[in-house]
Structure 1
Amino acid sequence: MDVRPSWRGLAGIGTAVLISLPMQNDRDPAPPPSPPPTAGPGVQASGEVSLPPLLAGTFIATVKTWDTTAADERIGQARAAGLLLDAGVRWKSTGDCAERRRPYCTSLEAIRYGTLMRTIDLRRDSGCPVTVTGGTETGHADGRYSHGNGYKVDLAHNRCLDTYVTRTYRYWRTRGDGVALYRPPSPDPDPEAGPDARFAVWANEPTHWDVLFR
């Protein structure tokens, strides 16, 4: 049941108060001026509600932050695929499979958490479609910072991503097989020197970007 204030009752109270006040010069005393409205925290004088700057920025930071201390943790196929799906990153296999021992599959089994999350960061930072076409499956070159060790992903070419990479990163050198390499402006100069969150190498291969995230 709705309960509504009785304006007649309120009017009667106001009348009673006025009658009880002392009269001066046969005129009712003028009511005191109303104090200016005070804007409380998060409320503007106009009555509009605004988020405090710190709180407003928290939401963006929460979306883009991940635990870098867990970067070397290896995660399984199901968890990795779920994280990509939640971030809007596609996963594609020419063999429509995820078995790590088959080269025509695209496997995320035992991929580094840091590699996966930096792929997700790329999707958010670039705003481009990102499709993973290669992960930890067999068939890639061996090495410490290799696909098999969870450091690399293959990402399908598209106009948006190609433009983003070539404008954001700088040309570094040409690989022995003629493939152009790009990297951030100030990466760790020596891949063997230790982990550095800024370090990445983008190899512009004919059908995809071969990307080292470390």
Structure 2
Amino acid sequence: MDVRPSRRGLAGIGTAVLISLPMQHGRDPVPPPSPAPTAAPAVGASGEASGAVSLPPLLAGTFIATVKTWDTTAADERIGHARAASLLLDAGVRWKSTGDCGDRRRPYCTSLEAIRYGTLMRTIDLRRDSGCPVTVTGGTEAGHADGRYSHGNGYKVDLAHNRCLDAYVTRTYRYWRTRGDGAALYRPPSSDPDPDRDPQAGPDEWFAVWADEPTHWDVLFR
């Protein structure tokens, strides 16, 4: 049987083409997106390819180092004023003295000479954890009360009041009791199973007491 193409069919096709062409707005048809390139398999130390992609050991170690800020086993080491001031500055912690000096023998200076490394680093941790401005206004200089866990022995710092820091301390720590001079004392809620134990009674790696004095927080880090 002789099969002839239908003019109506061809005209229909032509019409469809003519109708669809204006929809391109004069631009060439957009080609389909190319498939994403296949990543090369990671090669382990043995030279064998592995399907799992892992962080390079050097980069991973660098990341971990930025999270762990200091070695707690060195907490009782004593450091000099210049190094301590440099560590504070690098961490965004201010150091302020009414006499604009760091002489440990003068009470109007703010000295960091022979401060405990742990005390200094926990001050830096406070800046990072709270996100608040932190300004050290008192350290190991003369003029503070004596005692085993005192300013002079490197266990205490004075930190200037500011709205952010005040809110952080009273929100994070719990009221403990009122000191003899009227200062309200705050301490971590889980620092000691005995809430009435005196802070001078014995060692505790993460023990802290915050005394709310008129111009600053008098802070014991132990």
TM-score range relative to shorter protein: 0.7 to 0.9
Residues 1:142 and 2:146 aligned together: yes
Answer yes or no: is the 8 Å Cα contact 1:179–1:205 preserved in 2: yes
For residue 65 of structure 1, give the secondary structure of its aligned residue in structure 2: coil
Change (3 A) 1:185 1:23: closer
Change (3 A) 1:103 1:6: farther
Deviates more, 1:165-174 or 1:32-41: 32-41
Note the alpha carbon deviations across 1:13-50, whole angstroms, 9 max, x for none: 99999999999999999999999965567999999999
| CA distance, structure 1, for counterparts of residue 8 and residue 60 of structure 2 | 45
Q: CA deviation at 1:195?
A: 3.0
Answer yes or no: is the 8 Å Cα contact 1:100–1:137 preserved in 2: yes
| CA distance, structure 2, for counterparts of residue 147 and residue 3 of structure 1 | 108
Give 1:59's aligned residue. Answer: 63
Answer yes or no: is the 8 Å Cα contact 1:188–1:198 preserved in 2: no
Q: CA deviation at 1:82?
A: 0.5
Q: CA deviation at 1:165?
A: 0.5
| CA distance, structure 1, for counterparts of residue 2 and residue 114 of structure 2 | 61
Change (3 A) 1:176 1:83: same
Q: CA deviation at 1:180?
A: 0.4
Change (3 A) 1:9 1:199: farther
Residues 1:43 and 2:38 aligned together: no
Q: CA deviation at 1:55?
A: 6.2
Structure 2 gaps of 5+ residues are: none
Aligned CA RMSD, in angstroms, stands at: 13.7
Identity %: 91
Q: CA deviation at 1:196?
A: 2.2
Deviates more, 1:187-196 or 1:170-179: 187-196
Answer yes or no: is the 8 Å Cα contact 1:37–1:45 preserved in 2: no
Change (3 A) 1:17 1:114: farther
| CA distance, structure 2, for counterparts of residue 175 and residue 204 of structure 1 | 9
Answer yes or no: is the 8 Å Cα contact 1:71–1:114 preserved in 2: yes
Deviates more, 1:139-148 or 1:170-179: 170-179
Answer yes or no: is the 8 Å Cα contact 1:42–1:52 preserved in 2: no
Answer yes or no: is the 8 Å Cα contact 1:126–1:161 preserved in 2: yes
Aligned equivalent of 1:197, options 175, 194, 205: 205
Structure 1 gaps of 5+ residues are: none
TM-score, length of structure 1 as denominator length: 0.73
Q: How many residues align?
A: 214
Q: CA deviation at 1:65?
A: 2.5
